[in-house]
Structure 1
Amino acid sequence: MPQLLLLFWLNIFHPFYVSVTEIVHHKNTGNVQVSVRVFFDDFEKALENKYKKKVNILKPSNREELEALITLYIKNHLKIKVNGKVLDLKFQGYEIEEDAAWCYFETPKVKVIKELYVENDILFEQHSSQSNMIHAIVDGKRKSTKLDNPKKEVNFIFLSN
């Protein structure tokens, strides 16, 4: 009976596996900002499993090394194409908010986005029930979807006025 209670408690504490990726195009500057929110405990496990290194996101012993691992992992699990061209994600940093890590990226300037393709399998190797929310905001228009493991691709079309 105590084991059953423990399992129930663990499910309440961290009952689902979800990440949120937001892609925002600023038409006036051409900047594309990408932010990825993941539960930091799941992210630590994914980094440790993938790169065979002990990871502590809250108190890293070597922040530069940790940021390099974060960058490598995200770039391997998040691909963004605009109008058929792959965007290069440039790591800007990360911060902790409650139980989540927000990882920030920027891409080279883009004048117009008509088609936005996203491939996102962040943490899919960790959890078969992983879901990844995608929010794309282009020229003030917001489109969103949820990708449930193993579905990892979405294509948004933005029609200009």
Structure 2
Amino acid sequence: MHRLKYILLLLCCACCSVNAGMKHPLHVSTTEINFNARDKTLEISCRIFSDDFEAILVKLYKQKTDLSNANMKTAMDELVKKYLLSHLQLKANGKAVAMNYIGFEIDHEATNIYLEVEKMPAVKSVEVNDTILYDMFDDQMSIVHVVKASTRKSTKILYPEKKFTANF
């Protein structure tokens, strides 16, 4: 628990340095996967610093990128979807699952991306393969939370590691 508080403190410091006009020194993304038993879905949300995310989209797809520009929303949705689906894969109960892209929104200095896996009657395990921003930073950290009912399994994945399995 203290480790998570420390990481959150680092994130706050990083956000303050972005507000002060400096580059943030911490390269981190957060992915949360919630099993919704009522709707029989996995609800996935990813949070990535917007400046880092835009930089990798430009680097990989060689086109103008502005996640906060409402006039470019359709084009940005395509880039975000393409990137996330190629850098985040899930297996549930040992089988690969297809994620549906829902959308993204800007929240201060971060971009929140939403995905969903439908028709999940039960979840005994979730394997996460996360390489978000690995093609940009060799000090990238991914914080992953998998939640089922009141049970929360969390870890941090440090580059070059990329996998985490939560068993319930």
Is the CA contact 1:39–1:99 (under 8 Å) kept in the aligned structure 2? yes
The percent of aligned pairs where both chains have the same amino acid is 31
Counterpart of 1:82 in structure 2 is: 92
Is the CA contact 1:60–1:66 (under 8 Å) kept in the aligned structure 2? no
1:55-99, Cα deviation, whole Å (9 max, x unpaired): 001115431111011001000000000012212111111111110
Counterpart of 2:126 in structure 1 is: 116
Q: CA deviation at 1:103?
A: 0.4
Partner SS state of residue 21, structure 1: strand
Is the CA contact 2:29–2:48 (under 8 Å) kept in the aligned structure 1? yes
Partner SS state of residue 62, structure 1: helix
Q: Which of 94, 101, 126 is 1:91 aligned to?
A: 101
Counterpart of 2:4 in structure 1 is: none
Q: How does 1:119-138 map to 2 (within 5 A)?
A: 119-138=129-148
Counterpart of 1:156 in structure 2 is: 166
Moved over 4 A (4+): 9-13
C-alpha distance in 1 between matches for 2:107 and 2:28: 15
Q: Which of 57, 69, 75 is 1:59 aligned to?
A: 69
C-alpha distance in 1 between matches for 2:126 and 2:102: 21
Q: How does 1:11-22 map to 2 (within 5 A)?
A: 13-22=23-32
1:20-55, Cα deviation, whole Å (9 max, x unpaired): 000000112212100000000000011111111110
- TM-score of the aligned structures, taking structure 2 as reference length: 0.84
C-alpha distance in 2 between matches for 1:60 and 1:44: 15
C-alpha distance in 2 between matches for 1:93 and 1:75: 12
Partner SS state of residue 144, structure 1: strand
Return 5+ residue gaps in structure 1 as ranges: 1-8
C-alpha distance in 2 between matches for 1:140 and 1:92: 25
- TM-score of the aligned structures, taking structure 1 as reference length: 0.88
C-alpha distance in 2 between matches for 1:12 and 1:55: 21
Return 5+ residue gaps in structure 2 as ranges: 1-16
1:127-149, Cα deviation, whole Å (9 max, x unpaired): 11110000000122100000001
Give the AA of the match of 1:124: Y
